[in-house]
Copies of this chain bind each other. A is one copy, B any other.
Amino acid sequence: MMEFRAGEVRINGGETLFHEGDKVDFFYTAKVGQGARVIHLPNGGRQLVNFIFPGDTIGLQAALAKEASSSVVAASDMLLCKFHKGNLPKLFRQSARRAYSLVWIAAVEEHFLGETIATLGQRDAMQRMAWALCRISMRLSAVGLSSDGASPFPFKQRDLADALGLSLVHTNKTLARLRPFVRWEKGVLTILDPRALSEIAMLDYDAQPERPLL
């Protein structure tokens, strides 16, 4: 993919890469740092659609559409690879393999979004929280950012609240109730009892994820 690269981008925690409604001519992959894809509602509501971790593809959807339907914000300082949207057709012509892998990426993304929809629709606050923390921890350890069940997670409670569709207050109280099984302090997420968490989240503890690299 190197020959299609349009360079690197750095953004600081709190900054946004692009906004909803923007015309976006690039897409990205995350190399370092964490962020989130966010949708804003007319009434001021804010939904965090997914977290962005190293290795993730960012903004493919935004680049293909006329305008972005979601914003991307950095939770920590991030380093990104930048690609020209205009190079996509050429890429598709030159390498069927890579084109295939883009579809693969999109399919995996779709899988995760579906699981999120099931969670927001069917699980209560406790289950949502346990589910999210499990998933986050699994993703982070899959990219090698986790040691001893402790992973960097530079978000605020407000972010998690907006991801789970809960109020900030209730998010806080739910976290408190899960404290026997999880700690989250100063940007570090520590899973103390993964089995108990999986249980609460109604997740199969030994289900291996399917998220291959590009």
CB closest residue in chain B, given A104: B64
Chain B, residue nearest A69 (CB): B111
Determine whether the beta carbon of A92 is less than 8 Å from that of B100. Answer: yes
A sample of 14 more A-B contacts (CB under 8 A), given A49-B114, A88-B100, A96-B96, is: A39-B114, A43-B202, A47-B121, A60-B107, A61-B107, A61-B108, A65-B111, A66-B210, A92-B96, A92-B97, A93-B96, A99-B100, A113-B113, A116-B117
Query: In the assembled complex, which residues on chain B have CB atoms less than 8 Å from the CB atom of A60?
Result: 103, 107
Instruction: Write out the residue numbers on chain B whose beta carbons fall within 8 Å of the beta carbon of A66.
Output: 210
Q: How many copies does the complex hold?
A: 2
Q: Is A89 an interface residue (CB 8 A)?
A: yes
Question: Which residues of B lie under 8 Å from residue A122 when comparing CB positions?
Answer: 41, 45-47, 165
| Cβ–Cβ < 8 Å partners of A145 in chain B | none
Contacts of A69 in B (CB 8 A): 111, 114-115
Is A110 in contact with B118, judged by CB distance below 8 angstroms?
no
A29 is an interface residue with CB less than 8 A from chain B: no
A102: Cβ under 8 A from any B Cβ: yes
Please measure, in the bound complex, the distance between the C-alpha atom of A42 and the C-alpha atom of B119, giving whole angstroms. Answer: 12
- Let me know if A106 is at the binding interface, CB within 8 A: yes
**Which B-chain residue is minimally distant from A122 (CB atoms)?**
B45
* A73: Cβ under 8 A from any B Cβ: no
Q: Is A162 an interface residue (CB 8 A)?
A: yes
* A70 at interface, CB cutoff 8 A: yes
| A120 within 8 Å of B (CB atoms) | yes
* Residues from 84 to 100 in A contacting B, C-beta threshold 8 Å: 88-89, 92-93, 96-97, 99-100
Question: In the complex, what residues of B have CB within 8 A of residue A8's CB?
Answer: none
Q: Residue A117 contacts which of B64, B102, B108, B113 (CB distance < 8 angstroms)?
A: B113
